[in-house]
Structure 1
Amino acid sequence: MTLVRKMRMTDMIKPVQLPSPWGDARLTVVVPTYNEAGNLPALVERLLALPLPGLRILVADDNSPDGTGEVADKLAIENPDRVEVVHRAGKEGLGRAYVDGMSRAIEGGAEYVAQMDADLSHPPEALPGMLGALLSTQASVVIGSRYVPGGELDENWPLYRRALSGWANLYVHTLLRVRIRDLTAGFKIWRADALRDINLERVQSNGYSFQVEMHYLATKLGHTILEVPIRFEERRDGVSKMTTATKVESALMPFRLRSKHRNITR
């Protein structure tokens, strides 16, 4: 049975200083992008400022028409040993971008793989504490959670988004029986070995339901999942990528997951 534990993090503003060798861990942060030219430079700057010398950034851009790919290339030239860009053919969905980026991160030698949005809704400064929580436990993945004690939502997050997020969590909980409070969370750090065990090639979700499928697979395979609180911010630049199509996919996916992964084995 998967063990889901809740842990408080006391400081979500100032990044914690991890002792060696924890702070030197090979951590690759995968950031899918589509029209995030206004946010990406600030995100990369904040990530590279963290006290994690082993941190690398992999931007997976879906041929953004606003020039995000070119912005990412410039950042990679300025930081050749720490920023890498994967240019994808087009907008194939968040799930496909993550599968591509995470697979490349593992192939590149990452011991740990983080995933986060490019819109600055996830606080980069929380990553050292999340990595410390992962390394100090037997967890396979640490989730930056909005819905455990201590977690917060930006006061500017629209009411309809709060309602949709709450309904989605209740809906998936009911159908899949996964004991995670923030089932749709997109801010996480995985052990590379856990991702190999899950086998990214069998992940089918294209959109935001990728998060649910990954949690479901980890649960079915008996991995320990740890949630720590974060403050989730509303994006300051650009627009949300949540479309009617992604909402429909997310609504149907739990039924598909129950059928597809019912008898999953390693």
Structure 2
Amino acid sequence: MPKKICIIVPCYNEASRLAVEIYLNFLRENAEMDICFVNDGSSDGTDKVLENMQSLCPERILLLNKEQNQGKAEAVRSGIEWVLEKGWYGRVGFMDADLATPLAEVCRLAKVLETEKNTAVVIGSRIKRMGVKVSRNLWRHYMGRVFATIVSILFRLNAYDTQCGAKIFTVPVAREIFAQTFHSPWLFDVELLLRIRQRHPDYNVIVKEIPLDVWEEKGGSKIRFSHLLKMPFELCAIYRKYR
């Protein structure tokens, strides 16, 4: 099985925030990883920025352009499905375009998946602690803890941070959990863990949650107030399906 990894990066109106040189320099120095950008129907010229970036590193950057915006969940899902069809990679994952989780940290998560026996999924976790550089907005941090508590009670999931935007999977598990669309464009991180649990009784063994050493709140969230109003209903729909 191929050992290379491909990371899906969903992009919606990210033209002014994409750190092009950071991505390019990383790819030049790290041969084990490719990146697939998914332009999720952007209207600000993100497609042109991504096309230019791909032209500078065509052998390492894949680009999937979607005409209509469908939300992060479907951008990630369609990107992973598209990459899996190529058969080039042994591991796939996703991360946020703003590099809140640095590429070096994504590599560190990938190493865990490669080296730890019986591990099929690695998820990052934003735990602020001594000796690391995890910088979070205080209000968002506390809201995240409230959300994590609700998820823990509803679904009996012991994950500390389901919503961290850095997750990596072996190809067989990715094929299972990304084959169907998700109920929510923003809460799909919860649903993908529930799908793993549904298919793998040993999910608490094959899934590893790894605290990040570096994470920085970037701002500019694409979540609107209208999305927040829908989330309780989406959470209830997920609960009815996976309880």
Q: Is the 8 A contact 1:148 1:181 kept in 2?
A: no
Give the corresponding residue for 1:16.
Answer: none
Q: Which residue in the other structure is 2:154 paired with? A: 175
TM-score by length of 2: 0.87
Give the number of equivalent residue pairs.
234
Contact in 2 for aligned 1:175/1:255 (Cα 8 Å): no
TM-score by length of structure 1 reads 0.80
Number of the residue aligned with 2:120: 140
Structure 1 residue runs of 5 or longer lacking an equivalent are 1-20
Is 1:233–2:216 an aligned residue pair? yes
Distance 1:187 1:177 in 2: 22
Partner of 1:165: 144
Which deviates the most, 38-47 or 27-36? Answer: 38-47
* Cross-structure match for 2:191: 213
Deviations 1:1-43 (A, max 9, x none): xxxxxxxxxxxxxxxxxxxx9xx82211100001112332145
Contact 1:95–1:207 (8 Å) recurs in 2: yes
Which residue type is aligned with residue 99 of structure 2? L
Within the candidate set 241, 247, 250, 2:231 is matched to 250
Q: 1:46 to 1:123 in 2, by over 3 A?
A: farther
> Is the contact between residue 183 and residue 237 of structure 2 (CA under 8 Å) also seen in structure 1?
no
**Larger mean Cα displacement after TM superposition, 67-76 or 129-138:** 129-138
Please give the alpha-carbon distance, in whole angstroms, between the structure 1 residues aligned to 2:153 and 2:99: 30
Q: Out of 38-47 and 119-128, give the one that drifted further.
A: 38-47
* SS of match in other structure, 2:98: coil
Determine helix, strand or coil for the equivalent of 1:202: coil
The alpha-carbon deviation at position 50 of structure 1 amounts to 4.5
User: Could you tell me how far 1:258 is from its partner in structure 2?
Assistant: 2.6
Distance 2:63 2:26 in 1: 15
On the 8 A contact 2:191/2:238 being kept in 1, the answer is yes
1:158-210 Cα distance to aligned partner (Å, 9 max, x none) = 32211221111111111111121111122011111101222x23332342201
Greater per-residue helix proportion: 2
Q: Who is 1:12 aligned against?
A: none
Corresponding position: 1:81 with 2:62:
no
Percent identity, aligned pairs only, is 25
Q: 1 or 2 for the larger relative contact order (CA 8 Å, sep ≥6)?
A: 1
CA RMSD of aligned residues (A): 2.2
What runs of 5+ residues in structure 2 fail to find an aligned partner? Answer: none
